[in-house]
Amino acid sequence: MKVKVVANILEANDRLAAENQKIFDELGVFVINLMSGPGAGKTSVLESTIKEVNGKIKIGVIEGDIAGDDDARRIEILNTPVVQINTGGACHLDANMIRVVMDDLPLKDIDLLFIENVGNLVCPAEFNVGEDIKVMLLSIAEGHDKPLKYPLMFQTSSALILNKIDLLPYTNADINKIKKDALSLNPKLKIFEVSCKTGEGISEWVNWLYSMVNNKP
């Protein structure tokens, strides 16, 4: 019974997600669903990305949080169009939430839309929101056992940003194990090693973004 309910919710969500994607496609907006556990640094990576891109392509952001608008305010001061979704208690964004707020962004002027999901390494991976690709972050401080414990997010993402790489000397995390296990789950996964603190890896990540946006069909 319970499984059936969940399946219906996912199906209904997929239908709405396809409608969102059609709207984004018609307007030529490349959409990334950005996911991670809490505190892996999604908003910091967005800040570094916006600064590095420096207007070369036009970025917009939808911020998803259970409560609060801290993240939207961090994006807004970078002169980047942003809307904040508060899910109330829900642990992930769904397609309908995106549908409700998308008209609040100047989509015609946006090349690349980031949808920053609720910090959660589990549920967001199950709910499409109309994105072209999913990208996930993992903080080095979260340890090297995460790929095998949270396989779905690694399997559904096109890229993995290993963030806070500057903390590597101060942790026991085995970065090679993270990469090996992540690639065993998803051999096509593109992996970036990034530090928003030192700037390491940001330009490689941004160059890859350019190629993705320019190759949008």
Residue numbers of the site for its own copies (CB under 8 A)? 2, 5, 9, 37-41, 65-68, 70, 89, 91, 118-123, 126, 139, 141-143, 145-146, 148-152, 164, 166-167, 170-172, 197
Nearer to its own copies, 57 or 123 (CB): 123
CB of 103 to its own copies, least distance (A): 23
Nearer to its own copies, 101 or 141 (CB): 141
CB of 213 to its own copies, least distance (A): 29
CB of 38 to its own copies, least distance (A): 4
Nearer to its own copies, 178 or 209 (CB): 178
Nearer to its own copies, 5 or 108 (CB): 5
CB of 191 to its own copies, least distance (A): 17
CB of 61 to its own copies, least distance (A): 16
Nearer to its own copies, 134 or 164 (CB): 164
- Pick the closest to residue 129 from 35, 26, 2, 57 (CA basis): 35
- Pick the closest to residue 94 from 6, 203, 168 (CA basis): 6
